Structure 1
Amino acid sequence: MRTLLTLSLTALLGLGSVLAQPANKLLVLGLGQKSSVLLRLPILPAGLPDAGYVVKRSGAGGTQTFTVKPLNKLEAVGKYKLDPDDYDLTVGALAALNDDKLSADERGFLLLNLLSTVSNPNLARALGLIFEDSNLAAGSYSYSVTAGTQNLGTVTAQVGKDVPLSAPNALKVSPATRQAALTWPRGDDLVVSYRVQRALGSGDFANLTESPQLSNRGEAPKFGDTKLDSKQSYRYRVTALDVFGRESAPSNVVTLEARLAFPISVPLITTVKNNQNQVELGWDKVTDAGIKEITVLRGDRPGKLAPLTKLPPGATTYTDKSAPPASPRYYALQVSDGSRQSDPSPERVGRAYNETPPSAPKALKAEGSETAIALSWAANAEKDIDGYNVYRAEIGVSGNAPVVLLNGEPIKTPVFKDAIPQGIESQFKYTVKAVNTSGVEGEASSAVLAELTDKTPPQAPLLIHAQSAAGKVAIIFTLAPTPDLKEYEIYRAAQNETEPVKVATLPPDSLGYLDSKVRGGVQYSYAVVAVDLRGNRSNASNVLSAEPPTQKLSAPAGLRAVLGKDQVSLSWTDSQDALAYYVFRWEGQRRVQIAGPLIKPQYAEAARKGARYSVQAVDAAGTAGPMSAAVDAK
């Protein structure tokens, strides 16, 4: 039974009669030439017939019968110059086909080995698969072929002229990866294989392989020559072989420069020198004479490189003066021969540096809030600024205040927020320094001072005691510890007054206040307000009241009457509990009120020589006290 592999192999060759066929489909092929006929005989399903093929010819000159058998090994090797191993392998495979116990896979393997009988005309002749009937006169001849009892078929051939096998045409060659890729159109359907020949330069052609290359009918023929020397030039041509063993004339000749099949050798970057604001690259000199230019590639990420510059093929160094300082840059080389470009060389990384310190940042500003101090400044103009460092020193700290770096990594934008615990009353001094991408820090900016904005008032004081005595009231108060306390304000309201009046401002270490400007019999109410250094005022304390005792008025003391040119000026000592004063002038034994009530202890009237005066005090209740001693104006 015909196997799938058998069908595949016959399709590969394009011939239904060459390999083993079912008996009812065996074909004999015939080709008439000028004076002979070539017959191609089929392989039987069981191999070669034991008694050989019987060929009966009829035509001009009558009938003649031939028996075609394989040559023995010695004859085959001697006559057709065959490899003995090839002969043994083929004969063994043909004999094994007669084994009925062969599996489909085993039979397919044997048929695969028999492909050489198809592609090698001399081996086919030695096995009796190609028969030549020669020395024939021109005319038509008929051949019938049998094998034992099997009729293998009849063919007719016309003798009288040679019909040469057409040479392959349109042969093309192109460079592939380390090989020459040959392609050409398929020719005659009887073609089963091709010989590929190569010549070095202008030398002679020679076969590239020992055996012809089989042809797959379903595809255009092709061949890859991998035995190339990149320094050589090669010429190629192809001949076709058909089932009768005929070989065509050579095809057209094509030429390939072998170097085109090899990747262009690119030099490796051997040295990378990082310098001030530049990176210097070095590599070995290009030895390939076909190289036309060198391209330097650069990128800021691996695998993302773009052309930076083109150099002549003799260049061995390049200095990149546009490399951003301290930023890694990746470099590679490419070379070109004018028509092709190499792959990039392995990448090398370079990093230029800049040791020149950046300029000092300008326009530094600081603005405090309740919990932080916000800084801002003008960005530096240098292109390689990596960021900024912010420094702070606390003002008012005993000794030398330490300068503290506030950030870890350089700040990328020209703003910074310094968070400070609420309630800190210190003032701070800030400076900023720029840092370039090489890590070099520049000069400090001008310093600015700032402090937190304190909007939190102190706690309200606690008024704990108010005590009165004759002509005075003492109050005592307290306050929780307040570091930024500036002062206390004492407020007092006398009896029947609606608005309190500030009567004193005390330092922050005060614990009490003595009010001596009071009058007996009047109730006074007191409250205390705390004020911090930022002017924040506390709520008023609780209110305490006290009333000094009422005192009996005494006669005003120290009365004087000074006689001037135009007036008499009276003055006396102010009494503690006096609300007002009345002035009297004596006329004989009788006194006359001439002024009052007076608030201040003084009075003046027109000059009266020899006049006598007295003064009487009145308290808040309207009670008059004793009269002072009388004095004369003088």
Structure 2
Amino acid sequence: MKKMMKHIILLIFILQGYSNFAQNELVKTKSIDGTILVKWFPEELVNADGFDVFRSENGGAYIKLNESPIKIDIEEIANEQDQELKNYKQMAARYVEGAQDEPLLKFYILVKSMVSDDFAKFIGIRYDDHNVIKGKNYRYKIERTANNSQLGISEEESLETDLPVAPPKETRLAFQSGSRNTFTWLPETDRYFAVNAYRRADGETTFTKINNTPIIPGQAPDEFGIIRYPDYFFEDTLVTKASYYYVFKAIDAFGDEGQGSPEIFVKSLDETPPAKVSDITLSNTDTEITIGWDKSRSNDVKGYNVYRSFNGDTTYVQRNDKLLTGTSFVDPIDRPGTYMYHIEALDEAKNSSLSELKYIIVSDLTPPPNPYDLGVNVEPGKVSLTWKGIKTDDFWGYKIMRSDKENPTKDDFQLIIPEPLKEEKYENILAGESELALYYAVAAVDTFNNESEWLISDKVMTPDTVSPQAPVIVNVTSQEESVNLQWIASPDLDVVGYQVFRCEKSDKNWVSINDDLGVDALTFSDKNPVQGEMLCYKVVAKDDAGNISPASNVFTIKSKSKDISGEQRINLSGSKYRKNKKQVELEWEEDKDFQYRGYMVFRSENDGKLSPASALLTTTTYEDKSIQENTNYQYQIKAYTVKGVVLISNIQTITIK
């Protein structure tokens, strides 16, 4: 995968190199055999609509040279006899038909257009101008046929013979590692398009080209987003232990090679590690370990290094200050434990090899200091422990044990954590457990599993956090002014009472409707139900620790309604005659226990029959302007609720003089 990613990154640089070349000098020319060759490099590489070529002679006006657009000719593919060229032409056709997002496809088309005149003419980026005269200077302009946008203008060119492109400058070995030699040079995209690499082994006389496709230098964003050239442009991975000479030749825009660069000599590397040391011996006292070994069988060994780790640590630390030339070493130690060693053999080329692992155990039988000052804090569902202790060099941690036995011995305790704790605190989560009587113990342990004396707590009583089981409603009945409930008790023995909740089905807002009910109260009468409504009831149980059970089943019932139609529930509180306005003004107050659809004003004259005097009103005021002098008027308000109940007000009399 790493190698594949490296190739992808190099491909990005190559494609960017093409883009840089295209942006710097879009139109190139070259004189050969009485003809000026013209080649251009559009950003899109292949343009289905084609291009037009214009020529300026000795600084004069530009004249169009082609009668029809120079563009890709898909029909040529069927008649192509060269199978390799046919394959590339098919690639170009696929590219121009919508596969521009395939970078490899663009790369293959680009390279083929460099090395093949026929292919460059096929995709429409090449024109040969035969109608030129020696002694005159020419410039060429390229435009896109579709919109007449200018692609670019060439440098001035004449029929004088063009010299081969000079080799890349500053060619050098970038770095060397084993079978890899990488090379870089000064990229000059204004001077050449690509590079070919050649190699010969030391003692041979002939150079052989070793790159399959032209090497195209280019800049691209690196992993940090910085636009730059890569660390190297070419990598040779097929080298053996032999030494080699390398030369590099530049390729111009028409695929022609120039002269070779100065030869670069690369000497082979010695990457063969020396033989491992063997027969390692270890012995110890209380303060040091002596290591001995047989020397490596390799003749080019320069010396040895000793690496050590302690108690299974995966990091090995070099113990010697300078390279050892002998075959023994004394390593000072300051504590017991398991010491593990590797011996490294190092040769003149800095190749190294590590020996097999060898270890020795330096014993320790002294227990660590005892922890002290054990503190216990009890919360619902949790017991928190804290203590104090003294850490030593070989300290490993603290073991935590627990027992639910009364007056436990050590055998009654069980370890409740898998690994010793480094901190001097611990939280024991007791989610879902009932009231418990527990004992806790803490002991310090060292890396040799030596254990301190146990620090044992007093009895710890944990609170009951388990909710009782839910009661079950078995019967609900409705009377005129009450709703009566009956339920089956929760089976838990620590239940101390029940709570009844009610909601109107229309709003589903549960409200507690009772004071404390004892454990023996298995019925309840709701004396204040909303009459004529669908009501929901549920019951919960409470235990002596304050835990609340889940709710019972929900029982829904419609409460009975009392017929109150015709009752005086409206107060006609204000009625007055405004003589200046010639009107009677009425104002009344409604009973807040009802929702109203509206009100109507009824009136009679001189104690006659009450008749409607208004339409259905939504306000609690009314102005009566149809009155006469010397008349007694009687007024009454009728209120209509949303549930069809009709309520009436008191009657008030007003005399108009």
Q: TM-score range by the shorter chain?
A: 0.3 to 0.5
Greater Cα radius of gyration, structure 1 or 2: 1
* TM-score, length-scaled by structure 1: 0.41
* TM-score, length-scaled by structure 2: 0.39
